[in-house]
């Protein structure tokens, strides 16, 4: 079974928790794409009714529109029942590193408004401690990118400005991302607090205590962590 098949299995398991009448958060990334496609299929076949969704990125919004998933926003809804999203790394306490797709700011806004955040991953994303496999994406305003890079170095990080085709990657909200390797994070909560205090840092990819459930797809079956 290849990785895409594992991702699809995890995504479709997560969608089973969605019920008619819910407000649903649509995550971003290659794994979540399968969930959005399944939600669209169920809506179009009449299996899910009165669903409205809030996407976490322009890409997810575009896919949802193509699949005729009704969309809403935070002017009309301030509470999301279930969000299905992916993660780049998950530790034993279900803390996450997210932001590999560049949508961490909207993803965290949606996660904080969600009653039940369901994360879908394949088994390669599971670690004992965060930082074993992934740097921390840190979204900064363009004006402060150089300053915050120096700050991140001063607290033990190795920041790298994310680029695409030789140019800085720009998020949906018009910011830059500094992918910052801190090594294994012995205290991700403390690091998150330090990053939260910096005005030039818009958001970071440490999602602490936000995941209610993690669905892990393995070749021999699905494992659900809570």
Q: Which residues are catalytic?
A: 107
Measured CA distances, 45 to 63, 71, 79, 203 (Å): 17, 18, 26, 38
Q: What are phi and psi of 217, to 5 degrees?
A: -95, 125
- Rounded CA separation 79/183 (Å): 35
Residues 226, 134: Cα–Cα separation, whole Å: 22
- Residue 97 phi, psi dihedral angles, 5° rounding: -110, 125
Q: What DSSP state is assigned to residue 72? A: -
The pair of structure tokens assigned to 206 is 């440490």
């Amino acid at each position: 079974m290849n990785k895409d098949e594992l991702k699809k299995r995890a995504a479709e398991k997560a969608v089973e928790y969605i019920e008619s009448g819910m407000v649903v958060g649509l995550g971003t990334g290659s794994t979540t794409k399968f969930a959005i496609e399944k939600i669209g299929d169920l809506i179009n076949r009449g299996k899910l009714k009165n669903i409205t969704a809030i996407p976490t990125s322009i890409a997810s919004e575009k896919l949802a529109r193509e699949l005729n998933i009704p969309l809403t926003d935070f002017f009309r809804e301030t509470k999301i029942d279930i969000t299905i999203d992916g993660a780049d790394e998950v530790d034993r306490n279900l803390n996450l590193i997210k932001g590999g797709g560049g949508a961490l700011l909207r993803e965290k806004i949606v996660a904080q408004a969600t009653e039940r955040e369901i994360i879908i991953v394949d088994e390669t994303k599971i670690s004992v401690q965060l930082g074993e496999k992934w740097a921390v994406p840190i979204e900064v305003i363009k004006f402060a990118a150089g300053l915050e890079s120096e700050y991140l170095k001063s607290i033990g990080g190795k920041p790298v400005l994310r680029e695409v085709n030789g140019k800085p990657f720009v998020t949906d909200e018009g910011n830059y991302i500094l992918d910052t390797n801190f090594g294994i994070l012995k205290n991700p909560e403390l690091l998150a607090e330090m990053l939260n205090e910096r005005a030039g840092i818009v958001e970071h990819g440490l999602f602490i205590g936000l995941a209610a459930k993690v669905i892990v797809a393995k070749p021999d079956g699905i494992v659900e962590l809570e």
